[in-house]
């Protein structure tokens, strides 16, 4: 499953994939859900998937006209998730908590991790009903994979649900928290750094945090990215690109793994997405 744009975001709530108003917003507007552009489906469109509607393609193309590097950034974020999961599995991490997992696509986290370690276990958390229905079909035969309905903005509720399934993810042992292409859908007033601190507080030594996030520094690409973000004004949730310093700040309390928070590369060129992995010492 891809991160919600990410996804490149738990108690039962009525909001969408990565921290904004979900399909209920469509009902409040008197529109069917598929008529409201959805970041997970826009991301799916950029990745070459098939789970999207005309309204999603329209926003995706509008963003790409203003920031033509955006689709490449989505692909770079997805590639980084794959590479990161492989690296984490090679370090001995066998538990993964993927929040804002997004629509299933080729090479989901459990498939990647289990390729190296068949005993690896994965918990996916999302709250887009379309994402959840797809995910449950994909993972149904695997007892080591769990799909939960949840909201990144409510870490206490997410963790409460996870604690009910220690056979899948044991919080007393190291695990990887995957926030791929999801935090740029969490507005500042939802206090994303406090959300991460809440997860950090329960992470055993040796646990890891993986983040990918659209960056918008004070340069030409960054200014264009902020303009492109306005295309999401009618989408199911807002889009908030952040500066490199703000993204690096998400790793407070973690030790960054070299090369730190860095621009991801797509087709040999730096993208407008920063990625990084931190470890709990």
pLDDT tens digit sequence for 96-115 = 999 998 776 667 899 999 99
Q: Which of 182, 156, 194 has the alpha carbon at shortest distance from 19?
A: 182
pLDDT given for residue 144 in this prediction: 94
Q: Using one digit for the tens of pLDDT, what is the confidence trace for 119-136?
A: 999 999 998 887 888 788
Tens digits of residue pLDDT in 6-24: 333 322 222 233 333 333 3
Domains of the chain (ranges plus CATH)? 23-279 (3.40.50.150)
Check whether 247 has a pLDDT greater than 90.
Answer: yes
pTM score: 0.82
20-184-175 Cα angle (round to 5): 95
Return the pLDDT at 31. 39
Q: Is residue 277 exposed (0-12), middle (13-18) or buried (19+ Cβ within 10 Å)?
A: buried
Angle, CA of 183, 55 and 124, to the nearest 5°? 35
Which is it for strands 176-180 and 95-99: parallel, antiparallel or unpaired?
A: parallel
Cα 153 from Cα 144, distance rounded (Å): 25
């Amino acid at each position: 499953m891809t991160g919600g744009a990410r996804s490149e975001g738990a108690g039962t709530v009525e909001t969408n994939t990565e921290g904004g108003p979900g399909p209920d917003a469509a009902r409040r507007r008197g529109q069917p859900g598929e008529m409201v552009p959805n970041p997970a489906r826009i991301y799916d469109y950029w990745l070459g998937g098939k789970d999207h509607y005309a309204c999603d393609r329209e926003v995706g193309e509008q963003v790409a006209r203003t920031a033509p590097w955006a689709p490449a950034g989505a692909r770079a974020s997805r590639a980084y998730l794959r590479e990161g999961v492989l690296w984490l599995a090679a370090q001995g991490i066998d538990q993964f908590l993927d929040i804002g997992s997004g629509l299933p696509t080729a090479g989901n986290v459990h498939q990647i991790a289990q390729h190296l370690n068949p005993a690896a276990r994965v918990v996916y958390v999302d709250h887009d009903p379309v994402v959840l229905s797809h995910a449950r079909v994909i993972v149904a035969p695997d007892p080591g994979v769990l799909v939960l309905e949840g909201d990144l903005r409510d870490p206490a509720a997410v963790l409460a649900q996870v604690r009910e399934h220690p056979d899948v993810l044991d919080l007393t042992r190291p695990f990887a928290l995957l926030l791929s292409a999801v935090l740029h859908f969490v507005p500042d007033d939802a206090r994303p750094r406090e959300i991460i601190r809440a997860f950090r507080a329960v992470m055993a030594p040796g646990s890891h945090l993986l983040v990918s996030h659209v960056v918008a520094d004070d340069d030409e690409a960054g200014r264009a990215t902020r303009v492109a973000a306005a295309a999401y004004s009618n989408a199911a949730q807002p889009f908030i690109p952040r500066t490199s310093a703000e993204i690096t700040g998400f790793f407070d309390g973690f030790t960054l793994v070299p090369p730190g928070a860095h621009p991801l590369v797509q087709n040999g060129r730096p993208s407008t997405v920063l990625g990084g992995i931190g470890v709990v010492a």
